[in-house]
Amino acid sequence: MFGNIKKIYILKNFDSNDIFRFELYWAKKFKYIEKYNSGYKLTDKGAYLFHLIEQAYTRQYINKTWRTALNNPWPKRIILY
């Protein structure tokens, strides 16, 4: 989740530690991530939390899509939020 942040922002001359200081602090505090020389790595606890969040968003997307398709099989667009 946080592994490539530094690489992305180096291209734009940003320091990910400055931009995401608050988020990284709490993620480390709750042991969701670990700091390495090359960046950050999700712990098992962090990967599990990421999985739960991803699952919730995926279910929301699928439910909204199916509900919309029941009323209109070929909608022009679907607004998720």
Task: Name, in order, each residue with C-beta under 8 angstroms of 32's C-beta and a sequence gap of 6 or more.
Answer: 42, 43, 45, 46, 49
Residue 78 covered by a domain: no
Element (H, E) at 59: helix 44-71
Per-residue pLDDT 10s for the chain (81 aa) are 455 555 555 556 666 777 788 999 999 999 999 998 878 899 999 999 999 999 999 999 999 999 999 999 898 988 877
Rounded to two decimals, what is the model's pTM?
Answer: 0.63
d(CA 74, CA 76) in angstroms, rounded, equals 6
Q: What is the domain range of residue 13? A: 5-71
d(CA 60, CA 50) in angstroms, rounded, equals 15
Residue 76 covered by a domain: no
Residue 57 covered by a domain: yes
Residue 80 covered by a domain: no
Residue 41 covered by a domain: yes
pLDDT of residue 55: 95
What is the tally of structural domains in the chain?
Answer: 1
Residue 38 covered by a domain: yes
